[in-house]
Structure 1
Amino acid sequence: MIYTILINSVAVYLTAKLLDGVKVGGFGSSIIVAILLALVNTFIKPVIVFLTLPVTILTLGLFILVINAFMIMIVDSVLEDFKVESFGWALIFAIVLSILNAVLFWLF
């Protein structure tokens, strides 16, 4: 659990440094972002995925990217040290974060 949060925190921090439209206060803030993303993905995301299942099927699963961006926007609205400029940046952040998480979990 702690290992996963730390890897996700590194991914959040590096992704925020790569993208101009996303700002994170520091590594401590990225840990909080990773924890909140885990909580939001555990409790809110399954309900939204279930409610949007027909759209997800019609788009062959691509709508999940939109749902992930929405989860990032929820975390953005809760935290002061984490800012995403727009939904487009949240979508790009979600894609880059997923790729970076996969690479980091593969490496470590």
Structure 2
Amino acid sequence: MNTIAKFALRVVVLAVIMYLVTRLVDGIDVIGNDDGTFGTAGTYLWVALLFAVVNSIVGPVIRLLSLPFVVLTMGLFLLVINAALLGLTAALSDRLTVDGFVAALLGGFLIAVCSWIAELLLPLKVRG
């Protein structure tokens, strides 16, 4: 499978994960656009694409800068980083709302766990 197809599959899987997270976590909502080309599903795809871009551009920088905290907390600070990336995605989009730190923390945790499971089951790694 080529790189573009893997990235597209990753975004679709992330959109499904975002849908599950909005159903499971109070305080995280995606405001669907029924008038859009792809309707509410297109909104979830847009939010997933935005989160993937934020996670791949800003994520490594934040993880590198916070490396001492990650080491001191034995990796638990990565949950805070995932929450921050989810909050940043919500700040960049008017279609995603995250109400509070606890919702962002729980949502970031669920996204990380579900993405990990999806990577085990599907060929989602994008290699250059």
1:68 matched residue in structure 2: 82
TM-score, structure 2 length as denominator? 0.77
The structure with the greater share of residues assigned to helix is 1
The residue correspondences of 1:1-108 to structure 2 (distance < 5 A) are 1-25=7-31, 26-108=40-122
TM-score, structure 1 length as denominator? 0.90
Query: Any gaps of 5 or more consecutive residues in structure 1?
Result: none
Count of aligned positions: 108
Q: Which moved more, 1:12-21 or 1:67-76?
A: 12-21
Larger radius of gyration: 2
> Taking every aligned residue pair, what percent have the same amino acid on both sides?
32
* Superimposed CA distance per residue, residues 74-108 of structure 1 (whole angstroms, 9 cap, x where no aligned partner): 01011111101011100000111222233444455
* RMSD (Å) for aligned C-alpha atoms: 1.5
Looking at structure 2, the residues matched to 104 and 50 of structure 1 have their Cα atoms a distance apart, in angstroms, of 25
Looking at structure 2, the residues matched to 43 and 104 of structure 1 have their Cα atoms a distance apart, in angstroms, of 21
The runs of at least 4 consecutive aligned structure 1 residues that moved more than 6 Å come to none
SS at match of 1:23: strand
Q: Which amino acid aligns with 1:23?
A: D
Query: Any gaps of 5 or more consecutive residues in structure 2?
Result: 1-6, 32-39, 123-128
